[in-house]
Structure formats: structure tokens, C-alpha cells
Amino acid sequence: MKQHENHPTLMMIFGATGDLAKRKLFPSLYKLFEKGKLTDQFAVIGVARRPLTNEEFQQSIKDSVKTAIEKEDRIEEFASHFYYHSHDVTDSASYAVLKKMANDLDEQYHLHGNRIFYLAMAPEFFGTIALHLKEDGLTDVKGYKRLVIEKPFGHDLESAKELNKQIRTAFSEKEIYRIDHYLGKEMVQNIEVIRFANAIFEPLWNNRYISNIQVTSSEILGVEERGRYYENSGALRDMVQNHMLQMVALLAMEPPIRLTTEEIRSEKVKVLRALRSIDGEDVKEFFVRGQYGAGTIDGHDVPGYREEPMVDAHSNTETFVAGKLLIDNFRWAGVPFYIRTGKRMEAKSTKIIIQFKDIPMNLYYRPEEPLNPNLLVIHIQPEEGITLHLNAKKARQNEVATPIKLNYANKGMNGYNTPESYEKLLYDCMRGDATNFTHWDEVALSWSFTDKISHVWENTVEEHFPNYAAGTMGPKCADELLEKDGFFWWPISHMAVEPC
Ligand code: NAP
């Protein structure tokens, strides 16, 4: 087994009986354990209200790992590191027990006082937990203390500021790890490598050679049982404020002077600062919203958003957003970044398409068979890879060009070798690498951008909702957004990466 640096850690997971912990955190921790990235010097305390014995909790760990992973030879040994504390996070008295438990485990496993507090529960508790951790002495350690926080980080800029203020009473900015799991994705992390490690791309990565960039993140699933959360969120808050703007920042940032957390974050922040603010009347020029109606997916009829459980029958919540972003700086002036994301769409896919400008006089241009522009496609999920669309000679026909594709399919296809986002992010957190977590400045700038759009949308009822059928690529107005600029969305269905 490959030897890794040792990172002794006590992890406290608040919300350890919840969906996120079971589906993502436990299997990811197991993978780290199996790969030797988590040594014997670790212990986990699971916290939630329901009464469970340690044995019952350990059984739930084994079950969740077995559901997610085929090979789990060391599962018994792994599960023995897990302990449970039944605790209502609003009950002050119970933190003393938690502290004692943490100190004992620290001693037993030689954890050097290193602590990670993972808040895998509803955000309304974050402030209370942070405050108690400090006041009741759980953060009083001689090692490091780190706080991992799930999205959503606030509901708008004001609530995000309030939440930040609360957690900052107990943790410094450097100790706060705000999760955006897109930043843990292999191909999102690859954006920087593709850009900054290839001589052929970086010189072209600007408004002289790129005509537009399209970022699509579509889901087939509807809101399922998350109607209550989604009614208060919508696609703009759920996807654009975080994941979509983070991808745009990585695509548009200047090369950092070195690959450190501070330098990379500082370049991303500059992009968000240069993002043209869309306000008032401009919102309908630059952004469109959609809500799915009933439709057919894989031959099955599915209900519309307004028929989903816990959704208002007259809901004004958007399940789809498309927008045109402009970055007002020297590199990007005049290049639209189109983003779109939605639920109940035709395909589950996250792709970035960089469309290059046409060459001024293409000798192979034929009006009856126009040539495609060069495209660089970055396949984020579920496929992982890169495709470069070029034009080449058509066999046996001189002077006729035909589109060809150069494909790179990441070996991690179908999820085999590629580590899960959470696996990478948990390991980064243990190592103290916050590069792939969002800094407060990024969160604040993203909220101030999306708040102006939500303000307009919340104050105008969209009479045409529902405006797209489930199983389609969104409303017609999303196509018109590009058509008025002379562009169109490249069909996702024709963009598959072919395995090498
Ligand atoms: P969940 O399934 O509803 O789990 C909530 C957890 O919190 C449970 O373990 C629950 O256990 C515990 N809990 C609730 N009230 C408590 C209290 N007063 N004191 C102590 N424990 C309490 O939620 P989830 O889906 O795992 O999501 C957790 C967080 O991650 C949320 O912020 C969510 O937005 C975010 N998130 C989740 C996902 C995902 O895939 N699930 C993805 C991205 C972000 P008891 O009932 O036993 O107390």
C-alpha cells in the first residue's frame, strides 16, 4: 500500500444519521482509509438526536459503505473508529459530554488535538453549533480546528453575512471550509490544468479568439422529496450562486502567480468583481427562468413541478435558469458566457463548451455545407473528458473539409477510478488545503450578483409557468437568449465523449 502523509484527525459529524453522511461522507472516508490516506490515527463522532448505541451506529456505517462500494475488505476495522453521541444541538447541557468524549478519543487515538467539525445538517443550526463549540471548549485544542460547512451558505447576501458573523465568532476565515462539491470534481479541477499547462490553449483564451462560452448543468431528476427546500431556493440560488459561478470563475480567471490557495482564490475573486451586474429592467434581457410542466422521461409520464409534494400549486419558483454573463475586463470584454441549469431536463450532464471564432477567410467554406467552428468541450459529469472539434480533409475529396473530433476520455469514466468529490474534499480538509473550498469573498460577491436577479423575479409573477415540458432542454426563451446574439446552444446530445 502506498504510504501517505499521516493526518491524525478527530472528525465530528453533526447530522450523522442524515442522507449526506450516509450517501457521501461515510463511503468517501472509507475510500480514504482503504487507500491509506486515513491511517489508524482517526476517530469519528457522529452526532444526531435519535438514540443509537455505538454498535448500531457502526452498523449503519457498514451498511452505507456496502451500499456504495463493491469491495469493502477492511470495513470492520474502519467502522471500529466510529462513535455516536445522541445530542440535540440546541441543548447546551449536552456539549460537555461531547467534549469529554472528544478528549478521551483524542488520547486513545493520539490525535494531537486536531479536530474537524463537519456540519451535515440544516443551515439554521450552524450558528448555534459554532457558538457552543467555542463556549463549551470543544475548539479549545492544541492541534488545528476546522469547520466544514455544507451549502446553502445563506439564502441571500444578508443572511450569508449573518451566518458568517456567527461562525466567525468561533473560527477564523482560514479555519472555515465552505463546501462546493463541484470544486471537488476531477474535470472542474482540470480546467486550470487544461488552461495553464498547454501552450496551445492559453494564447487563444481571450476575446480575440473565443466567440462565446457555454456552461450547461442539466438534471433529469425533478425536485423529488425536496420540495420544501426547493420552494425557498429555486435554481438560481441552488445552482447559479455557487456551482455555475464557480465554474465561470475558473474559466475566466487570470493565471495565478503560483498554485497556492490564496493566489488562486484571489484570481477567482477578481473575475467575480468584474462580472457585470444585472439589475432591474436588464434582468429580462440577460436572464430567463423556467419551470417544468408534466412530460415524459424514458417513456414514463412525470408530473409538473407544481404537482410535486410540498410545492405550491401556483408556485413562482424557477426550476431552470439561463443567463448571459459578461466579464468586464481586458481579456473577456465582449465575450458572452452563457450558463443554463435546470431540473427535469433531457439529460443529466454538465459540460463546458468553448466556441472559438471563425478564421477570417476560410478557404474550405461552402455555403451548402458550412463548416463548424472549433470547439473545446470539457465534459464534467457524468462523462469525464475533453473533446476538441476540428475540421479535416474529407477522405478522397480534395478541397472538402469535414468535422472531426479528438477525444480524451478520463479513465475514471463510470466512476471507477475517479475519486468522488467528497473523498477529495475531505482529504484536502485534513491536509489543510482550502483551495477547492469557497472563500467568504467569493460567496459574498456571488450572492450580490444573484440577489439582484432574485429580487426582480420574486416581485414579478411569471405568468407563463410552467414553460417547459419535463424531458426537454428548457423553455424556448433560453434559445432566444443566444439567437439574438447570433449563437445557439450546442446540442448536448451530440457532444458525447467517446472512450479512447
Ligand atoms: P437530512 O437527511 O435531513 O439529515 C439531517 C441530520 O441532522 C440528521 O442526521 C438529523 O438526525 C440531524 N438533526 C436534525 N435536527 C437536529 C438537532 N436539533 N440536533 C442534532 N441533530 C439534528 O439532511 P441531509 O440531506 O443529510 O443534508 C444535510 C446538509 O447538507 C444540509 O445543509 C443540506 O442542504 C446539505 N446538502 C445535502 C446534500 C445531500 O446530498 N443530501 C447535498 C448538498 C448539500 P436526527 O433526526 O436523528 O436528529
Residue pair 316/234 in contact by the 8 Å Cβ criterion: no
List pLDDT tens digits, range 188-218.
999 999 999 999 999 999 999 999 999 999 9
CA of 155 to the centre of ligand 1 (A): 17
Measuring from atom 23 of ligand 1, which residue has the nearest CA?
18
Which position among 7, 85, 155, 243 bears the catalytic label? Answer: 243
Find out whether the beta carbon of 132 lies less than 6 Å from any atom of ligand 1.
Answer: no
Best mutation site among 13, 14, 17, 20 for ligand 1, i.e. most ligand atoms within 8 A of its Cβ?
20
Q: CA 414, CA 383: separation in Å to the nearest integer?
A: 7
**Cα atoms found within 13 Å of the Cα of residue 105, Cβ hemisphere only:** 27
Q: CA 472, CA 379: separation in Å to the nearest integer?
A: 20
**Cα atoms found within 13 Å of the Cα of residue 111, Cβ hemisphere only:** 25
List pLDDT tens digits, range 295-325.
999 999 999 999 999 999 999 999 999 999 9
How much is the pTM? Answer: 0.95
Query: Looking at the predicted structure, is the pLDDT value of residue 407 above 70?
Result: yes
Residues making up the annotated binding site for substrate are 181, 185, 219, 238, 343, 348
Query: Looking at the predicted structure, is the pLDDT value of residue 144 above 50?
Result: yes
Cβ partners under 8 Å of residue 153, min gap 6: 123, 160, 163, 164, 178, 242, 438, 443
Q: Would you call 379 a catalytic residue per the annotation? A: no
Neighbours of 404 (CB within 10 A): 13
- Identify the helix (H) or strand (E) that includes residue 300: strand 300-302
Atom of ligand 1 lying closest to residue 87 CA = 20
**Could you tell me which residue, 432 or 497, shows the higher pLDDT?**
432
